Structure 1
């Protein structure tokens, strides 16, 4: 009997495995993770339902001085503007105090939204599969298991066409400032590579968060666009304030990818504002 070969990121039943764990956090990043955990408790107290790490730090692939700290916080109620301002202040303080990280970002959502039917295959999947519990009751216990299918592809990244006009505005506001353009290059490069990967994810039948692997998986199905996606993966890891690259995203690669995504998987269901 032939042995079944499983794709990366899947368990023996073909479900997506949760990536990352606190045990994988590199030693150099443990102090900033500990401080972030304590400060989140101080900021939100009993209003905090749970908090999570995601990204390269809990995957164990973070690079000192080059990787950012990514956090997600679930509150018992909807976050307020004051909550978001407090989270931004926390991010700024952590970035200044810890040279090991290159920026920090905290996402805020309510428990109800993360567990809502509308978000089951977007934010819910994100928590269940890409987030590592840091504080509180793990919401993954209340969410389904996921397969790398077309529904998951559509509901995670099927909104690129809506994002592109906003990206163009952000590029325009950044002008020619290296300091302003660099984070846009990192963010947009990563977003496009991940969207390209989820476009082919059901055919590839697996999961990876490695940008290089994502670009290679995409290129196997779209060889004419492979070089562009590989270049975006490189910029996602080592960004420079390249305005021409950003314009190529919103004028060429992005519109093509949005249309191909619509053709293959459809458009993401509308969400409340």
Structure 2
């Protein structure tokens, strides 16, 4: 019998609490964060509205030499190709300079989109609850306090059914090597575990970003699928290059999860291409 973890990640009123902070950044990663804070204004100039950390670094769980640095940059206007190129160049420079990180991932969005009604329960929630302010005025001041309800579940991960055809294309187009398949397994494992967790999040009434805990919470409500999601959680941290894992994701677990999600919460509102 699965023991359900006690809900966490919410305040006394049941609203989702921001999960990271600069105080939690491990000492080994603080020079990287300082370099980002110093360099971003030079990279984007007056177009920069604000910048945020997210992921394992501000949660305090980053592993030296294994974890990447995740950034979200909000611009005053919609990002252009030049902005994306500048972000890639900065990420590559940081990755080469700081051995404690394994890559840099940067999300670029315009301020207007992040605060739009369409994104209020997806990107807006992401900024307000999963991002740690690093530079500029915090956009969370303009966003609501979120609760782990069905609306949030639908608008964050209610689009798995739309992603599955693209996943199949990526798998078919990948090189037939374990090295080429491992990043796909890692990405898809994490996506599936997070989707499984948000499927049951309104029943659990809490939040966690720990993949193993996500899988345990899911398994308490769907014991017949618990082993699959626990295995996916492990692959999210330590991926394998097994083609059968990818096949099971797009032919079995993924389609079941997409259908169950649509049944319980509905389908995410479509976004512009």
> Do they superpose with TM above 0.5?
yes
Distance 2:118 2:74 in 1: 16
1:109 maps to 2:109: yes
Q: Residue 143 of structure 1 aligns with which residue?
A: 143
Q: What's the CA shift for 1:91?
A: 2.1
Distance 2:236 2:207 in 1: 18
Q: Residue 235 of structure 1 aligns with which residue?
A: 235
So what's the TM-score if we normalise by structure 1?
A: 0.95
Distance 1:97 1:184 in 2: 26
Distance 2:71 2:202 in 1: 28
Alpha carbon RMSD of aligned pairs, Å? Answer: 1.2
Q: Secondary structure at the match of 1:118?
A: coil
Q: Secondary structure at the match of 1:84?
A: helix
Q: Residue 157 of structure 2 aligns with which residue?
A: 157
What are the Cα deviations for residues 58-112 of structure 1, in whole angstroms up to 9, with x where unaligned?
A: 0001111111110000000000122112212222222222221122100000000
Q: Residue 3 of structure 1 aligns with which residue?
A: none
Distance 2:64 2:243 in 1: 26
1:202 maps to 2:202: yes
Q: What's the CA shift for 1:240?
A: 2.7
More deviation, 81-90/250-259: 81-90
Deviation >6 Å, runs of 4+: none
Q: Secondary structure at the match of 2:103?
A: strand
- Structure 2, unaligned stretches of length 5 or more? 1-5
So what's the TM-score if we normalise by structure 2?
A: 0.95
Distance 1:263 1:47 in 2: 42
Distance 1:92 1:8 in 2: 36
What are the Cα deviations for residues 204-249 of structure 1, in whole angstroms up to 9, with x where unaligned?
A: 1100000000000000011111111001100111123232211211
Q: How does 1:4-153 map to 2 (within 5 A)?
A: 7-153=7-153
Give the 3 Å change call, closer, same or farther, for CA 239–97 of structure 1 in structure 2. farther
Q: Secondary structure at the match of 1:50?
A: strand
Q: What's the CA shift for 1:259?
A: 0.4
- Structure 1, unaligned stretches of length 5 or more? 1-5
More deviation, 214-223/96-105: 96-105
Q: Secondary structure at the match of 2:9?
A: coil
Distance 1:120 1:192 in 2: 22
Distance 2:240 2:91 in 1: 22
Q: Residue 190 of structure 1 aligns with which residue?
A: 190
* Aligned residue pair count: 268
Distance 2:243 2:101 in 1: 24
What are the Cα deviations for residues 38-74 of structure 1, in whole angstroms up to 9, with x where unaligned?
A: 2222210110000000001000011111111100000
